C-alpha cells in the first residue's frame, strides 16, 4: 500500500519540469512536497492520478504502474485516490450537495462498494463531510458562485473526502484560506492520516504547515529533489532554499508552534 515514483522525468516543450525524481510514500504517512512556484509540485501530483504521463520512469500505486494502465484499470486506481485541486474546481451548475455527492453516484464508486448508496445514505455522508470541513448544512442548496473562495475550497475538500479514498492528494489545500480554517484543514489531514491510516501527499509552499503535520518533507527545486527528510532533520539542513523557507516561517510564527513535540496537541 504505497505510492512510488521511480526515475520520473517530464518535460513540457523545452522546459524540463521533473528530472529523474524518485521517492516513496508509505501507508498512513503524510508527505509534504515543498518548493517554489513552477518547480513541478502540481505536475508530480497529476502523475499519481494519471492526469499526466511521465516521459520516462514510472509512477506506482500499490505496485501498479499508473502510466501503463488502460482506462478501466486507471479508473479503478483513481477510485482509491482523492485529489484536492489548487482551484476549488466545483462544478458551477451543481449545488453544494450535488457537488459533494458527485463521487458517490458514479458507476465506479457503485462498482467499488457493490451497490448504489440510498439517497438517505448519500445525504448523511454529505452532511458528515461538510461538518468535517467546518461548514454548515444551510449551504447545501447553494451554488458554488454563492460561496466565498475559502468556502468553495472547503466544499471541494468535502467532495474529495466523500468517497473515503485511501490516498489523499492535496494541491495547495490551504491557499486563500484564513488562518483558523488553515489550521482546521491541517488538523483534518493529520487526523485522517492517524485515525484512518489515509496516506496524504500535500503539495504546498507553506513550511509552517509542513513542520506541524508532515511525517516527511520533500523539497523540489529545478525539477530535482533538493532534500528528502523528516521534519526535525529538515530544520538542520544547510541548503540555502530550505534556510530561506525556514527563515520566512520563523519570522511569521512563534517558535513554540514549530515544536515537533507539540504536534499532538494541535490535532483535535
**Residue numbers of the site for other proteins (CB under 8 A)?**
46, 49, 51, 71, 75, 78-79, 81-83, 85-92, 102-103, 106-109, 156, 159, 163
In this complex, which beta carbon is closest to other proteins, that of residue 48 or of residue 258? 48
Q: Give least dist CB 105 to other proteins, A.
A: 9
Instruction: Map grid coordinates 451548475 to a residue.
Output: 93
Q: Give least dist CB 108 to other proteins, A.
A: 3
Q: Give least dist CB 125 to other proteins, A.
A: 14
Q: Give least dist CB 45 to other proteins, A.
A: 10
In this complex, which beta carbon is closest to other proteins, that of residue 79 or of residue 200? 79
In this complex, which beta carbon is closest to other proteins, that of residue 147 or of residue 207? 147
In this complex, which beta carbon is closest to other proteins, that of residue 22 or of residue 108? 108
The whole-angstrom separation of Cα 218 and Cα 31 is 7
C-alpha separations of 38 from 17, 43, 56, 147 in Å? 8, 9, 20, 29
Cβ-Cβ contacts under 8 Å for 225 (sequence gap 6 or more): 21, 22, 23, 218, 219
C-alpha separations of 19 from 9, 47, 171, 188, 266 in Å? 5, 14, 20, 32, 36
Q: For 102-137, where are the alpha helices, taking DSSP H only?
A: 107-113, 119-132
Amino acid at each position: 500500500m504505497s505510492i512510488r515514483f521511480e526515475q520520473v522525468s517530464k518535460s513540457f516543450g523545452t522546459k524540463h519540469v521533473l528530472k529523474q525524481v524518485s521517492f516513496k510514500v508509505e501507508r498512513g504517512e503524510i508527505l509534504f512536497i515543498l518548493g517554489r512556484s513552477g518547480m513541478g509540485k502540481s505536475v508530480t501530483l497529476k502523475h499519481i492520478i494519471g492526469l499526466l504521463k511521465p516521459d520516462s520512469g514510472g509512477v506506482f500505486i500499490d505496485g501498479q504502474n499508473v502510466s501503463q494502465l488502460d482506462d478501466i484499470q486507471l479508473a479503478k486506481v483513481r477510485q482509491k485516490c482523492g485529489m484536492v485541486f489548487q482551484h476549488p474546481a466545483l462544478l458551477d451548475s451543481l449545488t453544494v450537495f450535488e457537488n459533494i455527492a458527485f463521487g458517490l453516484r458514479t458507476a465506479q464508486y457503485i462498482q467499488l462498494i457493490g451497490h448504489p448508496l440510498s439517497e438517505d445514505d448519500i445525504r448523511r455522508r454529505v452532511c458528515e463531510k461538510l461538518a468535517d470541513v467546518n461548514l454548515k448544512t444551510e449551504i447545501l442548496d447553494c451554488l458554488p458562485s454563492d460561496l466565498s473562495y475559502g468556502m468553495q475550497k472547503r466544499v471541494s475538500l468535502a467532495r474529495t473526502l466523500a468517497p473515503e479514498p485511501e490516498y489523499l492528494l492535496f494541491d495547495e489545500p490551504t491557499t486563500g484560506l484564513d488562518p483558523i480554517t488553515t489550521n482546521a484543514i491541517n488538523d483534518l489531514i493529520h487526523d485522517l492520516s492517524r485515525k484512518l491510516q489515509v496516506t496524504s501527499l500535500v503539495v504546498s509552499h507553506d513550511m509552517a504547515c509542513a513542520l506541524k503535520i508532515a511525517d516527511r518533507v520533500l523539497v523540489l527545486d529545478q525539477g530535482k529533489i533538493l532534500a528528502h527528510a523528516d521534519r526535525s532533520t529538515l530544520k538542520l539542513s544547510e541548503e540555502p532554499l530550505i534556510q530561506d523557507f525556514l527563515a520566512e516561517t520563523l519570522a511569521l510564527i512563534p517558535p513554540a508552534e514549530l515544536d515537533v513535540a507539540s504536534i499532538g496537541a494541535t490535532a483535535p
